[in-house]
Amino acid sequence: MSDYEIHELMVCRVAAEVDDEGVVVMGSFTPLAYASYMLAKLTHARDVYIAGFDAVGMQPIQLSFTGAEAAAYKGAVCRWGMLEEINSIHLSNNGSVEAVSSAQFDGSGAINLSVIGDFDQPKVRLPGGAGAAEVIKMYRKMIAYFADHNTRTLVDKVGFVTGTRWKVGDESREAAGLMPGPIIVVTNLAVLVKDDDDRPFRIESLHPGVDAQTVVEATGFELEVPADGIPTTPEPTAEQLRLLREEIDPFGTVKLDFVGGKDRLAYLQGILDAEWERGVAAVRAKTP
Amino acid sequence: MARNKVVQLEEMGALVSDGDTVALGGSWYSNHPMAAVRQLIRAGRKDLHAMTIVGSVDVDLLAGAGVIGHLSFSMVTLEAFGLAPNVRRGVEGGTLGFTEFTGLGLLIGLEAGHRGVPFLPYRGPFGSDIPAHYPDYYSTVTCPFTGEELTAVRAINPDVAIVHALRSDAEGNAQWDGTSGPDVDMAQAARRVIITCEEIVSRDVIVANAHMTKVPGYYVDAVIEAPFGAHPTSHIPVYPVDPWQLMEYAAAASGDGWPEYVERIRAESEEDYRSRVLGNGRDDVLRALVEEARVLGVSEA
């Protein structure tokens, strides 16, 4: 299947990490991860629990600005609050896959969502990490995804550690009371994996048409390049593309993070126009 | 006869004093107590210490209107509409004091405050740079039974919590159907609690839906009816987020039109706000979008 866009390949690759065990949580504005979770639950991971907002055990939903939250509640088996959720999911080792996208990420598995520059009077004050500071350590698998693989984002060492994977190898994780599992980085160029405290990330697969040298040059931390050949990241299947385009994300919310500069505002406006039309049509349909 | 705690939104300013630590409910783009936020601006409150878990337009608007002098948070974001412009300006310019918590740490601090213990331990954000910046809130403690070293978070008791519910009776027995976020946790930890709600109902309605009561009245000091009181954030299942208004907000807060944006809110009543922003059937479109929200692949019963 060659007629796909890069964000669709990335959605499918992140979805492949979701399995039938445990709970995945929709974090703060990570639409690519949301689409991955929905795709997984509609295909190979039908038993996974998804929590979005305070709707726990949701059915898969169609993504949109105005519909996602309401849809989450329509299909959920519990309606909780934050403390109940952190106790039951994060702190009780029920979290399976945590996908983040940070301003900076480094080769130790640390993220920076706090500041660029001095902490107390920063050059750029970033949003903060919310639960990610703790959660990327606790979940069975940590995924970091980036729409633009470059050395400003994938850095040697983050300027500020908002949170970190802390223990990486299965043995050291289990010794610390954590579930064993890797860190997986999915970008527009490649998939990187780290599963050992003492070894750097290695290139797990290259996206079609990308060579290893390009990935190494776009990465600010040390990378292991397997000498015996690197597989190509699987392309989306026709059925995955149909689910993504027609069911999960017909408004195109995932692509928003892949549209740069002033095109982004116009793209965003296009999504909002389509959602407004949907609302207006619904009102009109009800009016006698 | 149960105590009647109902007050008008216009009395909001008298319920919060300058300098108070005010925990604001809601999270993501959901259910922030926006009518109360607008009224704090109209009342001219200042030097508040606002506290949020995942803050949005609520704390950004307060920062931009000069109502808060300090912000405690674990995240503040306008999500698709960018970083929070006023919070950014305040922090980067050194005019807004801030305490950045880790998300779980802040919630566990509130839980300690609710239980009346001085701190609570947990397996914390090991390796994070945040705790070292705030020794007044984060420390370590050794388990007396196993010797394990744990993170300790100091108890947090805000002066006031302001949270927005679906409905409440006059006694303050408050119910939620959709997103409640940290509302219950904040209400339980705070010294005083103000409930704003879409609708004040009789006790009978609360009793008939008792499983939806998340904050019983003995926590509550004041109950205020505020329809669309979370707008432009959502209150599910009544209305979704209003992304068109958030986009307008982000543009105003990032550009030259900011003083006028704040002045307009200051000068109008909450009723004026509703007719300005939700008039011409916009409220009906928002409500219809809740119904249009689609669940995929639901298995048959």
The alpha-carbon gap from A213 to the nearest alpha carbon of chain B, in Å, equals 31
CATH of the domain at B50: 3.40.1080.10
- Asked if the C-beta of A78 comes within 8 angstroms of chain B's C-beta atoms, the answer is no
B145 within domain boundaries: no
B74 within domain boundaries: yes
Rounded CA-CA distance B25/A275 in Å is 27
Average pLDDT along chain B: 97
B114 within domain boundaries: no
Please report, as a single letter, which amino acid is at residue A30: T
For residue B297, name the pLDDT band (cuts at 50, 70, 90): confident
B182 within domain boundaries: yes
The confidence score (pLDDT) of residue A1 equals 52
- Each residue of B61-118: pLDDT tens digit? 999 999 999 999 999 999 999 999 999 999 999 999 999 999 999 999 999 999 999 9
**Residues of chain B found within 8 Å of residue A116, distances taken between Cβ atoms:** none
Cβ-defined contact of B103 to A276 (cutoff 8 Å): no
Cβ-defined contact of B104 to A70 (cutoff 8 Å): no
Strands (E), A126-257: 141-146, 154-155, 163-164, 183-187, 190-194, 201-206, 223-224
Q: What is the DSSP string of chain B?
A: -----B--GGGHHHHS-TT-EEEE--BTTB---HHHHHHHHHTT--SEEEE-SEE-HHHHHHHHTT-EEEEEESEE--GGG-S-HHHHHHHHTT-SEEEE--HHHHHHHHHHHHHT-SEEEE---TT-SHHHH-TTTEEEEE-TTT--EEEEEE----SEEEEEEEEE-TT--EE-SS--TTHHHHHHHSSEEEEEEEEE--HHHHHHTGGGEEE-GGG-SEEEE-TTTTTTSBBTTTB---HHHHHHHHHHHHSTTHHHHHHHHHHS-HHHHHHHHHTTTHHHHHHHHHHH--B-SPPP-
Which chain B residue has the Cα nearest residue A76? B295
Cβ-defined contact of A121 to B54 (cutoff 8 Å): no
Question: Which of 224-243 (A) contact B at CB < 8 A?
Answer: none
Cβ-defined contact of A135 to B104 (cutoff 8 Å): yes
**Residues of chain B found within 8 Å of residue A138, distances taken between Cβ atoms:** 123
Q: Where is A99: in which H helix or E strand?
A: strand A97-100
B196 within domain boundaries: yes
C-alpha angle B185-B188-B193 in degrees, rounded to nearest 5 = 110
**Residues of chain A found within 8 Å of residue B214, distances taken between Cβ atoms:** 81
- Per DSSP, the three-state class of A193 is strand
pLDDT surpassing 70 at residue A69: yes
pLDDT surpassing 50 at residue B301: no
Contact A130, A28 (CB under 8 A): yes
Alpha carbon of residue B64 to chain centroid? 17
Average pLDDT along chain A: 96
The domains of chain A, with CATH numbers, are: 1-95+234-257 (3.40.1080.10), 99-231 (3.40.1080.10)
The complex scores an ipTM of: 0.96
- Each residue of A233-282: pLDDT tens digit? 999 999 999 999 999 999 999 999 999 888 999 999 999 999 999 999 99
Cβ-defined contact of B289 to A279 (cutoff 8 Å): yes
Q: Where is A27: in which H helix or E strand?
A: none
Q: Which domain holds residue B167?
A: 9-100+157-278
Cβ-defined contact of B289 to A121 (cutoff 8 Å): no
Which chain B residue has the Cα nearest residue A244? B296
Average pLDDT over residues B238-258: 96
Query: CB count, 10 Å around CB of B273?
Result: 17
Mutate to test the interface with B, among A34, A69, A121, A158 (most CBs of B within 10 A): A69
B152 within domain boundaries: no
- Asked if the C-beta of A160 comes within 8 angstroms of chain B's C-beta atoms, the answer is yes
Residues B213, B215, B219, B222: what is their CA dihedral angle, to the nearest 10 degrees? Answer: -90
- Each residue of B189-246: pLDDT tens digit? 999 999 999 999 999 999 999 999 999 999 999 999 999 999 999 999 999 999 999 9
For residue B298, name the pLDDT band (cuts at 50, 70, 90): low
The confidence score (pLDDT) of residue B48 equals 98
- Each residue of A162-209: pLDDT tens digit? 999 999 999 999 999 999 999 999 999 999 999 999 999 999 999 999
The confidence score (pLDDT) of residue B45 equals 98
Q: Which two tokens stand for residue B272?
A: 């004026």
**Residues of chain B found within 8 Å of residue A121, distances taken between Cβ atoms:** 91-92, 94
Q: Which two tokens stand for residue B189?
A: 């930890």
Cβ-defined contact of A134 to B102 (cutoff 8 Å): yes
If one counts the domains in chain B, the total is 1
B139 within domain boundaries: no
Cβ-defined contact of B178 to A69 (cutoff 8 Å): yes
Cβ-defined contact of A282 to B185 (cutoff 8 Å): no
